[in-house]
Chains A and B, each alone.
Chain A
Amino acid sequence: MKRIFTWGSFALIVVLIVWGMIAAANKAERESAGVASVDQVTATDWIKGATSSPVTIIEYSDFQCPACAAYFPLIEKLIAENTNVRFVYRHFPLQQHNNAMPASRATEAAGNQGKFWEMYSMIFETQPEWESVSDAKAVFSGYAQKIGLDMTKYATDVESKEVDEAINADIKSGIKSGVNSTPTFYVNGKKINNPREYEEFKKIIDDAATTAANS
């Protein structure tokens, strides 16, 4: 009788805990429903290109990743030469890149003064210059000055909690969508294999535009 009681409570406790934790996890998931998804552009996203275009590219990227910097001119060309596409940049700074987070912060702080994309370009273009410096923050402050930001505001913003939260929201949405490397591109909500060259990327965009037009 005692044995039945002992093992009955064992089973009950373990089942209750697992069940309770699944319930808690599901509750957390519902609460995080506000996390941006890969098929939706949100009001807080950084968008470049025509606002009402049939094709949306969302990139999860890390300013310190060499491949991300390699895609930078390609993306610029895509936006410049194609009117059917808009581009969304989301932060996904990787742990092993010490200067990626400060870079993201710098762009967000510049974004507060309407110069996100200026800082974005500057940081990608100069990646080799700051990727291994110990004080990347100072380098980015220099860039902030160069693009004509209000430096008092920049200094406050770059360390602010809001900037932190904006970046973390991007990271969260990336994790939720299963992003595990950078750059990861989504075209109209679908993850694509990273194209090796411009023409390949353009074809993906054009195909997506055709599909969007036919649906």
Chain B
Amino acid sequence: MKNLRKLLTTPLQLQQIPKWVPVVILAIALIGFADATYLTIEHYQNEIPPCTIGGCESVLTSQYAQVAGIPVSLLGALNYLIIVTLLFLYLDTKKEIFLRVPVLLSVFGAVASIGFMYIMIFVIKAFCPYCVVSAATSLSIFAVSLWLVLKSRNLSQQVQG
């Protein structure tokens, strides 16, 4: 746990980060943003998106689809929008903090996604492709972020050592 905190609070070694990495995270976050936005719009139109496979109805109308009256998809969309905005700020200013915050946010995204996938598979026992897409984007962002942190940490150790 302590290691994890250290891992996350250590500034990333910017000069070592391949230029394409933030762009890849950005691209994945945009997919997630599109997906979550779609579900949010459908929610407020009282619609259930067409699902050729699975049971979107069961998942999207379950008690787990809302947190305190706010649809989870809206929270997801905001999460992705924040990540996208910060990454644009990073691309604009090249300030390390604008890359580190999305990296931190990706941890919450990943934890939430795993939680919701668990509920979908084991509690609701239905399949909602839109939700799986969102979980996949969240977990991908987390994976890339983790790689970024680990790489950066190794490099900083090398530099210090």
Residues 3-30 of chain A: 1 if any B CB is under 8 Å from the residue's CB, otherwise 0? 1001100100110011011101100110
Taking chain A's interface residues, is the majority helix, strand, or loop, or is none over half, making it mixed? helix
Instruction: Tell me whether A178 and B46 are in contact (CB under 8 A).
Output: yes
Q: How far apart sit A158 and B34, CA to CA, in the bound complex (Å)?
A: 38
Instruction: Tell me whether A176 and B88 are in contact (CB under 8 A).
Output: no
Instruction: Tell me whether B61 and A95 are in contact (CB under 8 A).
Output: yes
Residue from A13, A25, A95 in contact with B38 in the complex, judged by beta carbons closer than 8 Å: A25
Given A6-B88, A95-B61, A96-B63: A18 and B37 within 8 A (CB)?
yes
Query: Is A58 on the interface with B (CB-CB < 8 A)?
Result: no
Could you tell me how many residues of chain A have their Cβ less than 8 Å away from some Cβ of chain B?
27
Taking chain B's interface residues, is the majority helix, strand, or loop, or is none over half, making it mixed? helix
Given A96-B63, A171-B57: A25 and B42 within 8 A (CB)?
yes
Query: Is B142 on the interface with A (CB-CB < 8 A)?
Result: no
Interface residues on B, range: 20 to 34
Chain A interface (Cβ < 8 Å from any Cβ of B): 2-3, 6-7, 10, 13-14, 17-18, 20-22, 24-25, 28-29, 31-32, 95-96, 168, 171-172, 175-178
Identify 22 residue pairs between A and B in the complex whose beta-carbon atoms are under 8 Å apart, listed by A's number: A6-B91, A10-B84, A10-B85, A13-B84, A14-B81, A20-B34, A21-B41, A22-B41, A25-B38, A25-B41, A25-B45, A25-B49, A28-B42, A28-B49, A28-B50, A29-B47, A31-B50, A95-B61, A95-B62, A95-B124, A168-B55, A172-B57
